[in-house]
Structure 1
Amino acid sequence: MGQGMSEAVPGVYVTSALVARQGKILDEFGITHVISIQAKPISPFKHREYLLIQAKDHISQDLLQFTAQCNDFIHNARLNQGKVLIHCVEGKSRSPSIACIYLMTITGISWSDVINSLRGVRTLVDPNFAFQRQLKHFYDQHMVNERERLFSKFGLFNMIDKDISFVMKNLALYNEEQRRRLTGDFSDVDKIYLLTKNNSTALPLDNIAKTEKVQEANSDLNQFFPNLDLRPMTPESQNLLDEMFSS
Structure 2
Amino acid sequence: MSASQITPSLFLSGADAALNQALVSSKGITLIINATLAHTCPAYRGVECLRVPVSDMPHARLGDHFERVALRIHNNRAGSTLVHCAAGMSRSPALVMAYLMRYKGVTLREAHEWVRGSRPYIRPNAGFWRQLLDYEKKLYGRNTVKMAVTPLGVLPESKDPQGGPRYCLNW
Query: Aligning the two structures, in what range does the TM-score lie when normalised by the shorter sequence?
Result: 0.7 to 0.9
Structure 2 counterpart of 1:73: 72
Q: Structure 1 CA distance, aligned partners of 2:41 and 2:66? A: 23
Give CA-to-partner distance per residue, 1:37-94, whole Å, 9 cap, x none: 10124132231111011101101111111122212211110xx242000000010000
Helix, strand or coil at the partner of 1:38? coil
- Contact 2:66 / 2:95 at 8 angstroms: preserved in 1? yes
Q: Deviations over 1:8-28 (max 9, x none)?
A: 112010001011110111111
CA distance in 1, matches of 2:78, 2:130: 33
3-state SS of paired residue (2:29): coil
The residue type paired with residue 129 of structure 2 is Q
Q: Which has the larger radius of gyration?
A: 1
Instruction: Report the counterpart of residue 130 of structure 1 in structure 2.
Output: 127
Q: Show structure 2 runs of 5+ residues with no match.
A: 142-167
Cα drift, residue 33 of structure 1: 0.6
CA distance in 1, matches of 2:109, 2:82: 22
3, 6, 10: which one pairs with 2:4? 6
Q: CA deviation at 1:144?
A: 5.2
RMSD of aligned alpha carbons: 1.8
Contact 1:41–1:52 (CA<8 Å) still a contact in 2?
A: no
2:33/2:82 contact within 8 Å kept? yes
Query: Does the 8 Å CA contact 2:108/2:132 hold for their aligned counterparts?
Result: yes
Matched-pair contact (CA < 8 Å) for 1:93–1:126: yes
In structure 2, distance between residues paired with 1:31 and 1:46: 10
Aligned 1:1-247 pairs, distance under 5 A? 4-47=2-45, 48-77=47-76, 80-141=77-138, 143=139, 225-227=169-171
SS at 1:58's partner residue? coil
Shift in Å at residue 113 of structure 1? 1.7
Q: Gaps (5+ residues) in structure 1?
A: 146-223, 228-247
Superposition deviation, residue 133 in structure 1: 1.4
Higher strand share: 2
Whether contact under 8 Å (1:41, 1:53) holds in the other structure is: no
TM (norm. structure 2) is 0.78
Give the match's secondary structure for 2:40.
Answer: coil
How high is the sequence identity, in percent, across the aligned residues? 26
Q: Would the alpha carbon gap of residues 43 and 81 (structure 1) be closer, same or farther in structure 2, given more than 3 Å must change?
A: closer
- Contact 1:41/1:54 (<8 A) preserved: no
Instruction: Report the TM-score when normalising by structure 1.
Output: 0.55
Distance 2:132 2:23 in 1: 30
Aligned residues of 2:74 and 2:103 also touching (Cα < 8 A): no
| Secondary structure class of the residue paired with 2:34 | strand
